[in-house]
Amino acid sequence: MTPNMQKFYIDGAFVDPIESRPLGVVDPATEQVFATISLGTQADVDRAVAAARAAFASFQFTSKEERLALLERLLEVYERRYEDVAQAISREMGSPIARARDSQAYAGLGHLKATIEAFRRFEFDETRGTTRVTHEPVGVVGLITPWNWPLNQIMCKVAPAIAAGCTMVLKPSEIAPVSGIVFAEILHEIGLPKGVFNLVNGTGPEVGAALSSHPDIDMVSFTGSTRAGIDVARNAAATVKRVAQELGGKSANIVLPDADLEVAVSEGVKACFSNTGQSCDAPTRMLVPADRQAEALAIARRTAEPLRVGAPTDVETQIGPLVSDVQFAKVQGLIQAGIDEGATLVIGGTGKPEGLETGYYVKPTVFGDVKPGMRIEREEIFGPVLAIIPYDTLDQAIAIANDTPYGLAAYVQGTDIAEARRVARKLRAGSVYLNYPDWDLFAPFGGYKQSGNGREYADFGLHDFLEIKGIVGYGD
C-alpha cells in the first residue's frame, strides 16, 4: 500500500491535511477496511486552489511542445505503474483483476494515448479575415470523479486539462480513492510544475461543494449521479463558472426485427453485466420484438447462467461484488421492485449467490415482460440487472427508448445497417452504438438531457477546457 494514503497532493508535494479526519476504505469483496485515507475540509481546498491559481500564472503560457512532453512522460510512467493501478482499482471497487487490467487500467492508458494524438494535431489559432481566433486555457479547474471507472474518468479530465494549459484540483471518489493517490504519485514523478495538479480527498457534500462553489475555480468537470450533478451546477451558478458533466443513464438497446437474435441478446446481456453493471452507459433496457420475446428470454438465461461471480483476485472471475453496502441495498431493493411489479424473473433475484455470503455480491438478474413505467425500466440500477421489454412496432420501440430523463447512450442491433443508422438518428442520446462496435477512443462521449453536458475523449475533451478569444483587427 502506498505510504501517501492519508496525505493530499498540494503544490508539488504530499502533505498532511490541516485537520486529521480519517476514513476507512472498505474492500467490497471482504467487507473489511483495507486502507485509511483523510477527508479534506474547506481549508484544504483553499490551500489546493491557491496553489493551482499561483501555478496558472505561468503554466498557461507554456508552449504546446512543453505540455506534450509532459503528457509523453506521463505515458511512460503510467505504463511502468500499470499493475499498481490495476491492483488498486481491483481492491477498492471490487473489479475482477482480469478486467481491472484489460479494461479499467487500460482505459486510463487508452485515453492518454488518444489525448496525445489529438493534441499533436490540434491547432490553437486560426485566422478569419483580419481576426485571429485563438484557444486559451479556461483557468483553474475542479475535477470531481466517480468510483465506477476511476482512472478512466481521472485521465479523461487530467490529460486534456494539462494539454489545454489549465491547472487543477482533483477530488476522486472517497469510496475508491486509492487509484487516485497512485495517479498523483505518477504525476509527481514526471516533474509536473508545482501546483499544476493537486489532489484533495473528501466527500461530495464537503470537498465537492467547496470546489464547485469556490470563487477561484473557473470550471468544474464532474462525473457522477444526476442528483449530485444538480448540486454541482447549483453551487457553480453563483460565480457563473463553466460546468461540464457526465451523469446518469438508462440506456436502451433496440434489437431490430432482422437482427441475429442469438448474437444481439447474448452480447447485450454481457454488455449490461460488464463492470458488474456499474457503468452509466450500460445497455440496461433491451427492447425485443414481442413475437420473439420468449426466444430472447431463453437466450438471456443461457448467457447469464454460466457467468462466473466471485472474488476479484480470481483471474477467472467475470462479475465481482458491488462497490459498497449502500449500492448492494439499492440493487436488492430494485430487484424486489421488479418482482413486486409483475415482471417475469428469468434468472437471478434477491440475495447473494450461493457460497458468497461475505462481500457485496449480487445474482446476475434478468427480467422479462417489463412494461414502461416499472421502476426497473425507469431508474438507474447500477448493478447486473437487465430489463427486457417487448415491443410491437419499431416506432413504439423508439418511443420507449426515448421516454427517459436520461440520454447518455443507446444501442441498436440489426442486419440492415441502413435501417440501424436510420433508427440511430431518432434516438436522443449522446452516443449510439451499432452492432456492438469496438471501443472508439476518438468518438465523443457525453449525454443529452439529464445525462449531462459537454463531451469527453480526445479533441472533444480538449475543447471543454479551452476558452475562445477573438482578436479583432489582428491583421494578416
pLDDT by residue, tens only, the chain of 476 residues:
678 899 999 999 999 999 999 999 999 999 999 999 999 999 999 999 999 999 999 999 999 999 999 999 999 999 999 999 999 999 999 999 999 999 999 999 999 999 999 999 999 999 999 999 999 999 999 999 999 999 999 999 999 999 999 999 999 999 999 999 999 999 999 999 999 999 999 999 999 999 999 999 999 999 999 999 999 999 999 999 999 999 999 999 999 999 999 999 999 999 999 999 999 999 999 999 999 999 999 999 999 999 999 999 999 999 999 999 999 999 999 999 999 999 999 999 999 999 999 999 999 999 999 999 999 999 999 999 999 999 999 999 999 999 999 999 999 999 999 999 999 999 999 999 999 999 999 999 999 999 999 999 999 999 999 999 999 999 87
Can you give the pLDDT at residue 382?
Answer: 97
Burial category of 438 from C-beta neighbours within 10 Å (exposed 0-12, middle 13-18, buried 19 and up): exposed
Q: Which of 267, 280, 377, 456 does the annotation list as catalytic?
A: 280
Q: Cα separation of 13 and 15, whole Å?
A: 6
Gyration radius from the chain CA atoms? 23
Exposed, middle or buried: residue 15 (CB in 10 Å: 0-12, 13-18, 19+)? middle
Three-class secondary structure assignment of the chain: CCCCCCCEEECCEEECCCCCCEEEEEECCCCEEEEEEECCCHHHHHHHHHHHHHHHHHHCCCCHHHHHHHHHHHHHHHHHCHHHHHHHHHHHHCCCHHHHHHHHHHHHHHHHHHHHHHHHHCCCEEEECCEEEEEEECCEEEEECCCCCHHHHHHHHHHHHHHHCCEEEEECCCCCCHHHHHHHHHHHHCCCCCCCEEECCCCHHHHHHHHHHCCCCCEEEEECCHHHHHHHHHHHHCCCCEEEEECCCCCEEEECCCCCHHHHHHHHHHHHHHHHHCCCCCCCEEEEEHHHHHHHHHHHHHHHCCCCECCCCCCCCCECCCCCHHHHHHHHHHHHHHHHCCCEEEECCCCCCCCCCCCCCCCCEEEECCCCCCHHHHCCCCCCEEEEEEECCHHHHHHHHHCCCCCCEEEEECCCHHHHHHHHHCCCCCEEEECCCCCCCCCCECCCHHHEECCECHHHHHHHCEEEEEECCCCC
Predicted model pTM: 0.96
CB-neighbour burial class of residue 473 (10 A; exposed 0-12, middle 13-18, buried 19+): exposed
State the pLDDT at residue 1.
65
Bridge partners of residue 276, in order along the sequence: none
246 assigned to active site: yes
Catalytic one of 206, 246, 380, 456 = 246
Close Cβ partners of 329 (under 8 Å, ≥ 6 residues apart)? none
Q: Which CATH number fits domain 252-441: 3.65.10.10, 3.40.50.300, 3.40.50.970, 3.40.309.10?
A: 3.40.309.10
- Is 370 within 8 Å of 338 (Cβ atoms)? yes
Give the pLDDT confidence score for residue 476 in this predicted structure: 75
Question: 8-247+451-471 has which CATH code?
Answer: 3.40.605.10
Q: Which are the contacts of 359, defined by CB distance < 8 A and separation ≥ 6?
A: 28, 29, 30, 31, 94, 311, 321, 352
Domains of the chain, by residue range, sit at 8-247+451-471, 252-441
- CA torsion, points 11, 13, 16, 22, in degrees to nearest 10? 100
What span, in angstroms and rounded, lies between the C-alpha atoms of 282 and 285?
A: 9
